[in-house]
């Protein structure tokens, strides 16, 4: 399976948190044919179901959010310059001189202007950049622009997927389209296997603004166990080594009170027994992922976390190793097979 091609398609999808409805059908279309059923719920979570063959199948849910950080149009001034507000965590200093797409009545390209250094006063050069001080220039004047763009329209960074050396790629929204790509890979890998348990693949919404989509889907499905696939921080210069994970060394398996100890131990054993490269992600508190919300859905769901290392998170140059996506697929496929052999004494 060519994960670069899958990711090229996935990162091209626009799904700003809270505005995923425009792209839910595209995600569903990718799932169809790979699952027995595919549907979209009232929160625009996309759910693919692979029905098990057992007499009394358990329900296993695998989640990966497909929403992305982005912007909303906040105002348009008399000269046609657009002010934005953020949806999700974005560092404004990364936005200077960036290209964006405003998703109005039609997509329109703009640039976030930056005052040239020649015109900066000494005190301005020392100040932190604020989003409210930045403006988008589309080249259009106010009247013409307002025929296309309205207050409340979404905007996203305009970044092509780049293939880097060492089997790595860079793009926007790899957090967490990489997890969705892995989920699609798992669907393919189990297509020829008769599993006893039902597997629910859920591409979730509004993770970046409060883990909301997974709360809705997990409550409705009421699974017996859960696997969350997300991104964690990859190795970067000048970052503390204890909180980052090298690219190409395999997915990071979460370990902490938020995560089910027996199932997590099973994940580590599977990785070791099958020679699947992996790392240990120590999570002493809130994981910052859907696992935090999923574990306390209904009366509690035993949950594990598998994370794909990603450099430069929440920027337009998020970077990962394709091998980590591939090994995430191998790990979770083997995990599903192991659970199929019996969950007595585990749950």
pLDDT per residue as tens digits for the range 127-136: 778 888 899 9
d(CA 131, CA 314): 15
60-105, pLDDT tens digit by residue? 999 999 999 999 999 999 999 999 999 999 988 889 889 999 999 9
CA-derived radius of gyration, the chain: 21
The answer to whether residue 60 sits within a structural domain is yes
Could you tell me the pLDDT band of residue 283, with boundaries at 50, 70 and 90?
very high
The pLDDT assigned to 166 comes to: 96
The answer to whether residue 163 sits within a structural domain is no
The pLDDT assigned to 119 comes to: 61
Could you tell me the pLDDT band of residue 18, with boundaries at 50, 70 and 90?
very high
Let me know whether 207 and 132 are in one domain: no
Which range is least confidently modeled, 119-123, 155-159, 276-280?
119-123
CA atoms within 13 A on the CB side of 244: 15
Q: 3-class DSSP state for residue 192?
A: coil
Let me know whether 210 and 325 are in one domain: yes
Let me know whether 61 and 99 are in one domain: no
Let me know whether 307 and 242 are in one domain: yes
Of the residues 128, 157, 186, which one is the last residue of a structural domain?
A: 157
Summary mean pLDDT of the chain = 93
Let me know whether 178 and 290 are in one domain: yes
Let me know whether 58 and 110 are in one domain: no
Let me know whether 181 and 210 are in one domain: yes
Let me know whether 179 and 215 are in one domain: yes
277 vs 54, higher pLDDT: 277
- Across 120-147, b (16+ Cβ under 10 Å) vs e yields eeeeeeeeeeebeebbbebebeeeebee
Is 31's pLDDT higher than 90?
yes
146-174, pLDDT tens digit by residue? 999 999 999 999 999 999 999 999 999 99
Let me know whether 141 and 277 are in one domain: no
Let me know whether 125 and 258 are in one domain: no
Are the C-beta atoms of 76 and 146 separated by less than 8 Å? yes
Could you tell me the pLDDT band of residue 345, with boundaries at 50, 70 and 90?
low
The answer to whether residue 200 sits within a structural domain is yes
The answer to whether residue 166 sits within a structural domain is no
Are the C-beta atoms of 37 and 54 separated by less than 8 Å? no
Residue 305 is encoded by which pair of tokens? 């976390």
Q: Residue 54: count other Cβ atoms within 10 Å of its Cβ.
A: 13
Let me know whether 188 and 284 are in one domain: yes
Residue 68 is encoded by which pair of tokens? 């992305």
Q: 3-class DSSP state for residue 304?
A: strand
- The average pLDDT across 15-42 equals 95
Could you tell me the pLDDT band of residue 124, with boundaries at 50, 70 and 90?
low
3-state secondary structure 46-103: EEEEECCCCCCCCEEEEEEECCECEEEEEEECCCCCEEEEEECCCCHHHCCCCEEEEE
Reported pTM:
0.94
Of the residues 106, 122, 157, which one is the last residue of a structural domain?
A: 157
The answer to whether residue 162 sits within a structural domain is no
Residues tagged active-site: 207
d(CA 230, CA 220): 21
The pLDDT assigned to 117 comes to: 66
Let me know whether 176 and 281 are in one domain: yes
Is 126's pLDDT higher than 70?
no
The answer to whether residue 167 sits within a structural domain is no
CATH number for the domain including 233? 3.40.630.10
d(CA 314, CA 333): 28
Range of the domain at 76: 70-157
Could you tell me the pLDDT band of residue 125, with boundaries at 50, 70 and 90?
low
d(CA 146, CA 142): 6
238 vs 34, higher pLDDT: 34
Number of independent structural domains in the chain: 2
- The average pLDDT across 250-268 equals 96
Of the residues 123, 157, 191, which one is the last residue of a structural domain?
A: 157
């Amino acid at each position: 399976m060519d994960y670069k091609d899958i990711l090229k398609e996935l990162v091209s999808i626009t799904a700003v948190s809270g505005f995923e409805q425009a792209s839910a059908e595209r995600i569903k279309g990718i799932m169809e044919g790979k699952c027995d059923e595919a549907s979209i719920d009232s929160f625009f979570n996309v759910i693919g179901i692979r029905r098990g063959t057992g007499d009394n199948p358990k329900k296993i849910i695998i989640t990966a959010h497909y929403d992305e950080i982005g912007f909303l149009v906040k105002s348009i001034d008399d000269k046609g310059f657009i002010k934005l507000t953020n949806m999700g965590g974005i560092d404004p200093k990364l936005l200077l001189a960036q290209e964006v797409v405003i998703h109005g009545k039609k997509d329109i390209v703009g640039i976030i202007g930056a005052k040239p250094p020649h015109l900066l006063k000494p005190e301005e050069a020392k100040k932190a950049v604020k989003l409210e001080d930045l403006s988008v220039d589309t080249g259009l004047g106010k009247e013409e622009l307002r025929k296309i763009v309205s207050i409340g329209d979404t905007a996203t960074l305009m970044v092509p997927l780049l293939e880097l050396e060492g089997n790595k790629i860079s793009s926007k929204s790899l957090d967490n389209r990489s997890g969705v790509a892995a989920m699609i890979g798992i669907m393919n890998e189990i297509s020829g296997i008769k599993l006893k348990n039902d597997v629910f693949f859920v591409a979730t919404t509004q993770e970046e603004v409060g883990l909301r989509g997974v709360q809705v889907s997990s409550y409705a499905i009421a699974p017996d166990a859960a696997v969350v696939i997300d991104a964690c921080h990859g190795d970067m210069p000048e970052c503390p080594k204890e909180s980052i994970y090298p690219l190409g060394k395999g997915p990071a398996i979460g370990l902490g009170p938020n995560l089910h100890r027996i199932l997590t131990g099973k994940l580590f054993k599977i990785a070791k027994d099958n020679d699947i490269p992996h790392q240990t992600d120590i999570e002493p508190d809130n994981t910052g992922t859907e696992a935090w919300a999923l574990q306390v859905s209904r009366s509690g769901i035993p949950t594990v976390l598998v994370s794909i290392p990603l450099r430069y998170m929440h920027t337009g140059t998020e970077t990962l190793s394709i091998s980590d996506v591939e090994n995430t697929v191998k790990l979770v496929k083997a995990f599903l097979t192991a659970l199929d052999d019996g969950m007595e004494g585990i749950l």
